A and B are shown apart, each in its own frame.
Chain A
Amino acid sequence: MMSTRITRRFQSLAEEGRGGLVTFCTAGDPDYDVSLALLKGLPAAGADIIELGMPFSDPMADGPAIQQASLRALKGGQNMVKTLDMVRAFRSDDDDTPIVLMGYFNPIYVYGVDAFITDAKAAGVDGLIVVDLPPEEEAELCLPATKAGIDFIFLTAPTTDDARLDKVLEHAHGFVYYVSITGITGTASASASDIEEACKRLKSHTDLPVAVGFGIKTPEQVGSVAAIADAAVVGSALVNVIADNIGDDGKATAGLVDAALGFVSDLANGIKGTVEK
């Protein structure tokens, strides 16, 4: 397999003997500068992989927290060009931490698929998670992105049965994202035993690392999921910390970046705690 930032990161996590922390925040929430400062601070705070949300007006798979984050970012003037600028700015200081862009297909489609792949690759994007592109639509973006060396990361869900799993995994790269509940982001949480069973099932179908997301909110949950899967994804809970540090005027308060990075450190400590045990 070709060595990419994503494969190298999972390799080093395996060598450390611990699961990884994947953090999600929306690019440009609540504005470009604050969002970039947060992005740049994430690796030192303990994020092993960064998911950066491409804001969309109609985020159909997201709960209220990420919906609001998307709207704040768009109101702050964020667009696809700026999101790619942000990745480029991050890459000038950090050549190791993988960045995965996450969102919906329409902004990519309207940007132009070929132009997007070229520009995303040049900016230093490592992977893509596009919620509304199941394997049935792989010709749209998955196949051309993979050809260009960007990992297309597929979502699997509790409803993805064994027969379907092989189809989903056929063109999967980087890692597999397991959506641990049927539902939207930032709502219910799956039990550790359900996650364990699901990971076992996924591992019997693929050698790719498995990251588990949806409903993971606390350092304790991160610790328990990261002990079962290769990585735990935290999105809405981090986005809530951002929302809590936005003033009535819609602007970031002075403490936003520190508060968000402090929360990420706590999440990362949740993993270290389990390693020390």
Chain B
Amino acid sequence: MSTPNTYRAGPDEDGRFGIYGGRFVAETLMPLILELEQAFDESKTDPEFAADMDRYLSHYVGRPSALYLAERLTKHLGGAKIYFKREDLNHTGAHKINNCIGQILLAKRMGKTRIIAETGAGQHGVATATVCALFDLPCVVYMGAKDIKRQAPNVYRMKMLGAEVRPVTAGSQSLKDALNEALRDWVTNVEDTFYIIGTVAGPHPFPAMVRDFQSIIGEEVREQIMAAENRLPDTLVACIGGGSNAMGLFHPFLDDADIDIIAVEAAGRGIETGEHAASLSAGSAGVLHGNRTYLLQDDDGQITEAHSISAGLDYPGIGPEHSWLHDIGRASYVSITDDEALDAFRLTTRLEGIIPALESAHAIAHVMKIAPDLPKDHVIVLNLSGRGDKDLNTVAMASGESFGVE
């Protein structure tokens, strides 16, 4: 698929990254997915589309997001120099909005009049509800009933923004089931509805499209780190559930062979307990939600429930491009437990005055493991993908403290 000297050419015309990806959807959706691919391809060369993207990303989202040298964390760990890419400073508080701006512009281009989305932590749901308010389009967000409970602030934000949040009580009542229900809505309302998928998964062209909309993260880092260090970083670290913030940071650097690329999965209560969301570390190849990728499943091909304290990582699959990067060894995939993420959450809050999302805290926790043993001139860029205000209740409960809003 890719020419020998680039890792950035995928997917191929069938939407594959190696054997991963593809278009495993019902016939009813197939014509629409082909239409979407065409609209996406056309948008890439349309200067007006690019100008709209630029305008909204600069003036509405607030890009570029800062690249911040976390001096106190660096000093505390005593090794590598740690930079945070501050996606938490974006409007709505996470990287998710980058993709939503891109997809809502495509939806408008295609003449769609109704938007649906799935959400886990609620960050993608909030970002989708936000752009729907901005573009005056009705919005339905599917969210697992379990996630609605643990992410109450985001649920209320979505409602304030005018979205209808539909609880999903099927299956594990989390992100996987929200995706199933969103796909059921889409196949029913195929004429007027645009499905804004929040991560680099789903049928082609979603993995490539979401990656392209998120790649602004890595593109900015390239410029910002040159300005700060006059060289490229040595290591990139990001958390992965579906993998969109990681892909956004990694993709512009895939061909810089000297850069170590590390993605951090959620090990939940520990891989050995079986209660985790580490599809690459502990899963196998399968087909779900429109693509072939690594999945958590049993030996009969039934999808098993994922677990993570972080709702945004609580998904039994992963974007297909990550599966490919894993197999060819271009990126390494490690995992961090709930407890390690909580420790990183607390440490970052106290040392830097930055409350990270529990998702991003997984990436920080891995940096805490590797930074002390690295030389002081080693540069790590960590994607601080979102802010942690939404997680305060979860953290309080995990700490045995009262949040005072029950």
CB distance from A163 to the nearest CB of B (A): 9
When A and B form their complex, which 10 residue pairs have the shortest distance between CB atoms, in order from nearest? A110-B301, A107-B301, A183-B188, A157-B28, A79-B300, A57-B302, A132-B24, A106-B301, A155-B27, A134-B30
Q: Fill in one digit per residue for A150-171: 1 if any B CB lies within 8 Å of its CB, else 0.
A: 0000111111110010001000
Instruction: Give every chain B residue within 8 A of A61 (Cβ-Cβ).
Output: 26, 28, 183-184, 187
CB distance from A249 to the nearest CB of B (A): 21
Tell me whether B26 and A106 are in contact (CB under 8 A): no
CB distance from A3 to the nearest CB of B (A): 27
Partner of A134, one of B23, B184, B297, B302: B23
19 A-B residue pairs with CB within 8 Å: A57-B303, A58-B171, A60-B289, A61-B183, A80-B300, A80-B301, A106-B303, A107-B302, A110-B297, A134-B24, A134-B27, A134-B30, A159-B31, A159-B190, A160-B30, A161-B31, A182-B188, A182-B190, A182-B191
Tell me whether A182 and B24 are in contact (CB under 8 A): no
A58-B171, A106-B297, A187-B188 known; A134-B288 Cβ under 8 A:
no
State whether the Cβ of B274 lies closer than 8 Å to any Cβ in chain A: no
Instruction: Give every chain A residue within 8 A of B26 (Cβ-Cβ).
Output: 60-61, 131-132, 134, 155, 157, 179
Of all chain A residues, the one with the shortest Cβ separation from B297 is A110
State whether the Cβ of A74 lies closer than 8 Å to any Cβ in chain B: yes
**Complex alpha-carbon distance, A4 and B285, angstroms:** 34
Instruction: Give every chain B residue within 8 A of A131 (Cβ-Cβ).
Output: 26
A58-B303, A184-B184 known; A132-B25 Cβ under 8 A:
yes
**Complex alpha-carbon distance, A109 and B303, angstroms:** 13
**Complex alpha-carbon distance, A105 and B289, angstroms:** 11
User: Is the interface on chain B under 10, 10 to 19, 20 to 34, or 35 or more residues?
Assistant: 35 or more
State whether the Cβ of A245 lies closer than 8 Å to any Cβ in chain B: no
Tell me whether A179 and B28 are in contact (CB under 8 A): yes
Residues in chain A within 8 A of chain B (CB atoms): 56-61, 63, 67, 74, 79-80, 104-111, 131-137, 154-161, 164, 168, 179, 182-184, 187
Q: Fill in one digit per residue for B173-216: 1 if any A CB lies within 8 Å of its CB, else 0.
A: 00011001001100111110000000000000000000000000
State the main secondary structure of chain A at its contact with B: loop
Residues in chain B within 8 A of chain A (CB atoms): 14, 22-32, 170-171, 176-177, 180, 183-184, 187-191, 284-290, 292, 295, 297, 299-303
Tell me whether A184 and B187 are in contact (CB under 8 A): yes
CB distance from A213 to the nearest CB of B (A): 12
Of all chain A residues, the one with the shortest Cβ separation from B302 is A57
Tell me whether A184 and B188 are in contact (CB under 8 A): yes
Partner of B299, one of A58, A110, A133, A157: A110
**Complex alpha-carbon distance, A156 and B189, angstroms:** 17
Instruction: Give every chain B residue within 8 A of A187 (Cβ-Cβ).
Output: 188
Tell me whether B302 and A137 are in contact (CB under 8 A): no
Instruction: Give every chain B residue within 8 A of A60 (Cβ-Cβ).
Output: 26, 180, 183-184, 289
**Complex alpha-carbon distance, A132 and B187, angstroms:** 12
Instruction: Give every chain B residue within 8 A of A133 (Cβ-Cβ).
Output: 24
A132-B24, A155-B26, A159-B190 known; A58-B286 Cβ under 8 A:
no
Instruction: Give every chain B residue within 8 A of A111 (Cβ-Cβ).
Output: 300-301
**Complex alpha-carbon distance, A80 and B284, angstroms:** 18
CB distance from B144 to the nearest CB of A (A): 13
**Complex alpha-carbon distance, A160 and B34, angstroms:** 12
CB distance from A266 to the nearest CB of B (A): 28
Tell me whether A164 and B31 are in contact (CB under 8 A): yes
CB distance from B1 to the nearest CB of A (A): 15
Tell me whether A154 and B27 are in contact (CB under 8 A): yes
**Complex alpha-carbon distance, A21 and B189, angstroms:** 29
Tell me whether B187 and A182 are in contact (CB under 8 A): yes
Among A63, A133, A160, find the residue whose CB has the most chain B CB atoms closer than 10 A.
Answer: A133
